Amino acid sequence: MKNPIQLQTIHETHGLLKTKQFSSVELTQSALSHIQNVEPHLHALVTVTETLALEQAAQADKRIARGDCQPLTGIPAIIKDLFCTKGIRTTCSSKMLENFIPPYNATAVEKLYANGMVLVGKSNMDEFAMGSSTKTSAFFPTHNPWDLSRVPGGSSGGSAAAVAAKEGLYSLGSDSGGSIRQPASFCSVVGLKPTYGRVSRYGAVPFASSLDHIGPLTQDVEDTAIVMNAISGLDERDSTSLPNNVPDFTQSLGKDIKEMRIGVPRQYFVDGIEHEVESTIRAAILKLEELGANVDWEVTLPHTEYAVAAYYIIAPAEASANLSRYDGIKYGFSYGDTENMWSAIEKTRQYGFGDEVKRRIMLGTHVLSSGCYEKYFLKAQKVRTLISQEFERAFTKYDVLVTPASPYVPFKANEESSGITSLYQSCVCTVPANLAGIPAISVPAGFVNNLPVGMQIMAKPFAEDTLIRVAHAYEQATEWHKRLPVIA
């Protein structure tokens, strides 16, 4: 291979592989070379799977030679490091699982393998998906490819940064309170959180089981549709996986949005939202109006203001239950040099978990304790029901709701003055969709001082095709998705 291959979108690269403009091995070698050059600056990957990637690329070339070239066959990809990958360590960016090598693959990973994925690396993340900056990783922080002094968002910050920097053509992430959409906004890529139950969670290390969603981060909306086709569907190994029919999401591409009903909830333009971000999103909504949509700017979802408070009761409660399995006995990190079992468990958790994880475990254990369960946890669940009901009523009037994906642009990595509470507020626009289990997507909507701004679109359950239709129409009418950071 004389010259490195410039990584493009999935659909563009698929066409070039199919017509044998280059091989998957050549493409993968270029991706790995680019990773080698970029990673010392970006730190988006925990593990680079060079040997496996080249083996999979060689197998993909054989498939292509036989005429079996699926849209993802031979395409380099990144997987967030909370998805179990057989024979490849899965760390959750935690010392607790630093050397854990799963004996099986997550269902979503299996489906991508079946479609010919070439896995080039596992991406960095906030430890156990707890954070909004990818700074709580036990190994190193990830940097934003648009400005290396800023965060890429979180917890799927490594996945978003890797796609924006073109280390891989797409990535798989998880979203419990905005962990796909917020980093997608911060890194100017497309991030989709599907309906709860649309994509199997089997083999994804859980944070908060009733809030965790699996979805793609891609360079454009067409790529999102392609990946969703591959990973969606019923999985009998996941009791929360639903048997709803999976449409061909690519059939929603290229359709106009004339006469579609779009609502703009006032509560999402919250106190503290940066003025330039608000102006950018309002301009993006005006573009949807220009495309023929009917926009109502006065939608009210009054319980939205309680969503973050409810989330930070429910999510830590579920996390405290899920993380109780890490005791240093069954698997993972173990602090074994102690006098008795209880001391060993205490030391294991003391040194195996980071500060943010400990904070959420303690909060979750507290709200589930006697005397606090009804006062906090049960009340938060009631608020969750009210939020779901508000969305249900809204979607009888509107096809989609449009909001900012984040109230501000990526912040500097060394900005600590805002504190923990302010950091928790960063998911104020994204959390309600997780509480209700509805699908939501973030698409690039502009820049403020060369820093990305994302627009969030939400729809009723299992209406991902509607999201893709609206997002693609907006994307094709703008140029934001074509801008690349210098590092790419």
What are the C-alpha distances in Å from 376 to residues 310, 322, 369, 382, 421?
9, 19, 10, 10, 18
- What local confidence, expressed as pLDDT, does residue 417 receive? 41
Look at the block and give the residue holding tokens 């939400």. 458
- What local confidence, expressed as pLDDT, does residue 29 receive? 97
Structural domain boundaries in the chain: 10-252
Find out whether 127 and 356 touch, Cβ atoms under 8 Å. yes
List the one residue out of 440, 467, 45 whose CA is nearest residue 211: 440
Reduce the DSSP state of residue 85 to 3 states and report it. strand
- What local confidence, expressed as pLDDT, does residue 5 receive? 87
- What local confidence, expressed as pLDDT, does residue 1 receive? 46
pLDDT in tens, the chain (488 residues): 456 788 899 999 999 999 999 999 999 999 999 999 999 999 999 999 999 999 999 999 999 999 999 999 999 999 999 999 999 999 999 999 999 999 999 999 999 999 999 999 999 999 999 999 999 999 999 999 999 999 999 999 999 999 999 999 999 999 999 999 999 999 999 999 999 999 999 999 999 999 999 999 999 999 999 999 999 999 999 999 999 999 999 999 999 999 999 999 999 997 889 999 999 999 999 999 999 999 999 999 999 999 999 999 999 999 999 999 999 888 889 987 777 888 888 899 999 999 999 999 999 999 999 999 999 999 999 999 999 999 999 999 999 999 999 999 999 998 754 454 456 667 899 999 999 999 999 999 999 999 999 999 999 999 999 999 999 999 999 999 999 999 98
**How far is 22 from 2, CA to CA, in rounded Å?**
11
- What local confidence, expressed as pLDDT, does residue 423 receive? 60
**How far is 159 from 122, CA to CA, in rounded Å?**
8
Q: Terminal CA-to-CA distance of the chain, rounded, Å? A: 20
What the block records as the tokens of 283 is: 């301009």
User: Which residues touch 150 (CB under 8 Å, ≥6 apart)?
Assistant: 143, 144, 186, 410, 411, 412, 413, 451
- What local confidence, expressed as pLDDT, does residue 416 receive? 52
Find out whether 207 and 128 touch, Cβ atoms under 8 Å. yes
- Give the type of residue at 52: L
- 10-252 placed in CATH 3.90.1300.10: yes
Catalytic residues: 80, 155, 179
DSSP 376: I
